[in-house]
Amino acid sequence: MKITVTPKKLDAIHADCEIVLIINQQLKHKWVKDQTDLSTLNFEAKSEESAFLPHQHRVYAGADSLDRDEIRLAVAAALKAIKNTNYKTIKIGSYVKTCPAIYTKAIVEGALLGDYSFDRYKSKKETKIQRELILSLEEYHDKELKLESAQNALDEATIIAQAANLAKDVVNAVPDDMTPEALANEAQKLADTLDNVTCFIGDEHFLEEQKMGAFAAVARASAHKPRFIHLTYKPKDAKEKFVFVGKGLTYDSGGLSLKPSEHMVSMKSDKSGSAAALAILKGAAQLQVPFEVHTIIGSCENMIGGNAYKPDDVLVAKNGVTIEVRNTDAEGRLVLADCLCYACELEPDYLVDMATLTGACVVAVGEYTTGIMGHNSALKDEMLSAADKSGELSATLPFNRYLKKLIKSDIADISNIAASRYGGAITAGLFLDNFVTDTVKDKWLHLDIAGPAFIEKEWGYNQSGASGAGVRMCLYWLKEHTYKINNYHDKDEEK
Ligand code: BES
Ligand code: ZN
Ligand code: ZN
């Protein structure tokens, strides 16, 4: 979908169809031209509700408030209602007199995220007509200035939504296609097409050289060899260093602690952390953020076989910490352990790891929400707020000293599973803490995206399957940091 902004009045724009958003169920508002029809349809304009009037060539959608996510949901709902029509041009008005940047972004993100579809494995592809969405800035005062800011907002939101959609493509690809090697090729492709981006790829020999004994053990039984991927975006005069680490299990069968069949289905999504880290790097480079951004990915398959790692093995991670394996299905933390050690050597100002790490996190906060963990409350709050603005749901989960004791081991330094299944998301986070150096502890966040990364039933503007969890929140977070260092307080960005 192509999206354009124009200072033209809505009535002066020629388009095949018009989208009308109804805020707060104000059905008597001047924008609502078909009140009789809508009341015949008993249309109440509730959140996510839409009504398409083909004779009028208008589609209405409700939003409970002017909150960013209400707008995203409404735009996506409106476009979904006219999905099967042959309209080529669609116009939409602006519904607020201020803050064009915020609302332009919300409209654009709602449209592009909602418009995503994945038909790579369908033998008959849906014919998708190339549509144009035209956004009128009619309501805003001071048109010249607002046009520029709306155009910037359009560009920024397009980058962010397309990054999330890239992550969805990577996650939705099946394990036989998206092997560690194929994921590394995706990373290399990004580096080849983006300015200021370089890519390093290491194989199983690199893991050995680096003494990444935990990662190597998980990877061992698969016919597909592991890949360690390090992407760097380095603009001139970069201010700070952000490092993103992603769990890239292209398949998680559980290993010898084999998953029951019903839990194994959808484990192609165990590469979601790496897909997010890849997409964030792409977004950051396209947004030209003034920071050095690194993406570190540990990619492999957790399989069974004669040479598989076993419960009872003791592994030695890159930093020398010894790990007793008690369950080979708790493999993500082993891969991340070595990747976090490597990441700390980069001396980051901020370190964020993303992983579909625990079913326990899904139990704790539900399927739609990311669990944010770390030692630094201010940093966790920053991410929480960025997630909220981006439209991603998140909640912080607190570490504590008692849960930390649950991962002790008799035979090694730590065990890869906790002594109790309660608090499993947090004990997994505390396991990772052993691989973050003291100087980085306060700069580190762990995002458990096991719930939202992949859901088999569509929700909001997310299709069934991958959602690109982590991408939008981290890109919003990077943007917030950009405003901070530029000492720039765009009124438009303030809620
Ligand atoms: N990849 C899974 C976690 C997961 C579960 C992701 C559900 C997405 C949806 C992870 O590797 C795993 O199997 N974790 C175990 C840990 C346990 C053995 C301590 C789990 O959550 O059951
Ligand atoms: Zn597992
Ligand atoms: Zn896993």
| Cα distances (Å, whole numbers) of residue 148 to 144, 341, 439, 485 | 7, 44, 42, 22
Residue 144, pLDDT > 80, answer: no
Q: How far is the CA of 451 from the centre of ligand 1 (A)?
A: 10
161, amino acid identity? A
Structure token digits, residue 423: 């608090």
Q: How far is the CA of 199 from the centre of ligand 1 (A)?
A: 29
**Residues pairing with 51 in the sheet:** 60
User: Which of 215, 256, 358, 414 has most ligand 1 atoms within 8 Å of CB, for mutation?
Assistant: 358
Catalytic site positions: 259, 333
197, amino acid identity? V
pTM above threshold 0.75: yes
CATH topology of domain 173-494: Aminopeptidase (3.40.630)
CA distance 246 to 215: 13
Burial class (CB in 10 A: 0-12, 13-18, 19+), 486: exposed
User: Which of 215, 257, 329, 454 has most ligand 1 atoms within 8 Å of CB, for mutation?
Assistant: 329
The mean per-residue pLDDT over the stretch 89-104 comes to 83
- pLDDT tens digits, residue range 27-61? 999 889 999 999 999 999 999 999 999 999 999 99
Q: How far is the CA of 235 from the centre of ligand 3 (A)?
A: 34
CA distance 19 to 91: 6
List phi, psi (to 5°) of 487: 50, 45
Residue 492, pLDDT > 70, answer: no
Band of residue 128 on the pLDDT scale cut at 50, 70, 90:
confident
pLDDT value of position 99: 66
- From the alpha carbon of 417, which atom of ligand 1 is closest? 19
Ligand with smallest separation from the Cα of 424: 1
Q: 145, 193 in Cβ contact below 8 A?
A: no
- pLDDT tens digits, residue range 343-356? 999 999 999 999 99
Closest residue by CA, ligand 1 atom 16: 330
CA distance 339 to 336: 5
Sign, Cα dihedral of 307, 309, 311, 312: positive
The mean per-residue pLDDT over the stretch 152-172 comes to 98
The mean per-residue pLDDT over the stretch 421-444 comes to 98
Structure token digits, residue 322: 């010894």
pLDDT value of position 317: 99
CA distance 313 to 203: 23
Q: How far separated are the first and last CA of the chain, in Å rounded?
A: 28
Residue indicated by tokens 């607190």 = 398
The mean per-residue pLDDT over the stretch 324-338 comes to 99
CATH topology of domain 2-163: Leucine Aminopeptidase, subunit E; domain 1 (3.40.220)
- The domain limits of the chain are 2-163, 173-494
| Ligand 1-lining residues (CB < 6 angstroms) | 252, 270, 327, 329-332, 356-360, 362, 417, 424, 450
CA distance 301 to 415: 21
Q: 20, 60 in Cβ contact below 8 A?
A: yes
- From the alpha carbon of 428, which atom of ligand 1 is closest? 19
- pLDDT tens digits, residue range 5-32? 998 999 999 999 999 999 999 999 988 9
CA distance 464 to 454: 8
The mean per-residue pLDDT over the stretch 317-332 comes to 99
Residue 95, pLDDT > 80, answer: no
Q: How far is the CA of 4 from the centre of ligand 2 (A)?
A: 44
pLDDT value of position 494: 42
Structure token digits, residue 93: 């008005």
